[in-house]
Amino acid sequence: MRTNDSIIQTKQVNFFYGTFKALIDVTMDFEKNKVTALIGPSGCGKSTLLRLLNRMNDLIDGTRVEGEVIFEGTNIYDTGIDPVDIRRRIGMVFQKPNPFPKTIFDNITYGPKLNGVRSKDAQETLVQQSLEQASLWEEVKDILNRSAMTLSGGQQQRLCIARALAMRPDVLLMDEPTSALDPISTAKIEELIAELKRNYTIIIVTHNMQQAARVSDYTGFFYLGKLIEFNPTEKLFTKPDEKQTEEYITGRFG
């Protein structure tokens, strides 16, 4: 599948943890301002692929990448590319909310400050914008100086989204962002994802197939390190091309 409006492409990517091949020949196109969901049973490689897109896998010793990941025309695995620059433009939200043990305000400004946003005014504007984008502003606008650790799990996760947005990334990677949250918080995050795709490209890993069906425009189904099927979400969940996909989404395995 190839569209003109793609922002990230993987080309024949193989990924190894030591000698274990976790991804096999994955070629994919992620379209701009769309939500792409990655689904599949545990250990299928979907999270590995996600973390490969902003070089978070670099942090694990003994891993190796083959193939190319093209982001706006450059292979992010080329020598001379600083993974720090990549991660500024491709933000990430993790499975468990992981705010810093700082105030809500300082959580948001942590990244921007290190990137030269020094003036108090600019910081305040940024905090408000980011929190509004993450639909958290109304809940926390009066307690910005309170520790982020005092927020509920769902609020913490939206704070983490706001923190990622404060870096003004182009792409937001989400690794099972609602798996540690209750249904109401999950619903809020899903609404948020629908809002955010106007300005950002979102790639989300989820274990929850209903979630993939609800929030995404495209869905990729992974099994044993291979991309089995990659199609518009509606097609994948109603008339899948592959038998394995059908078996998985109808709950026959996984």
| Dist. CA 99–CA 47, nearest whole Å | 20
CA 134, 135, 141, 146 dihedral sign is negative
Least distance to another protein, CB of residue 182, Å: 19
Among 4, 42, 79, 84, binds another protein (CB under 8 A): 84
Least distance to another protein, CB of residue 166, Å: 8
Among 26, 35, 92, 162, binds another protein (CB under 8 A): 92
Of 90-98, 197-205, 227-235, 238-246, the segment contacting another protein by CB under 8 A is 90-98
Interface with another protein, residue 91, by CB under 8 A: yes
Among 26, 53, 86, 193, binds another protein (CB under 8 A): 86
Interface with another protein, residue 61, by CB under 8 A: yes
CB atoms within 10 A of CB 233: 21
CB atoms within 10 A of CB 114: 10
Among 11, 32, 89, 226, binds another protein (CB under 8 A): 89
Q: For tokens 């020949």, what's the residue?
A: 25
Interface with another protein, residue 174, by CB under 8 A: no
Least distance to another protein, CB of residue 151, Å: 11
**Listed residue (240, 198, 245, 239) closest to 44, CA to CA:** 245
Of 21-29, 72-80, 156-164, 228-236, the segment contacting another protein by CB under 8 A is 156-164
Q: For tokens 């020094």, what's the residue?
A: 118
Q: Can you list the alpha helix ranges (DSSP code H) found in the chain? A: 46-52, 83-89, 104-114, 120-133, 137-140, 153-165, 183-196, 209-215, 233-238, 243-249
| Dist. CA 24–CA 162, nearest whole Å | 34
Site size for another protein (CB under 8 A): 29
Interface with another protein, residue 177, by CB under 8 A: no
Strand order across the 218-223 sheet: 90-93, 171-175, 201-205, 35-39, 218-223, 226-232
Window 209 to 238, contacts with another protein (CB under 8 A): none
Contact residues for another protein, defined by CB under 8 A: 54, 56, 59, 61, 84-89, 91-92, 94, 96, 98-101, 110-111, 114-115, 147, 149-150, 160, 163-164, 167
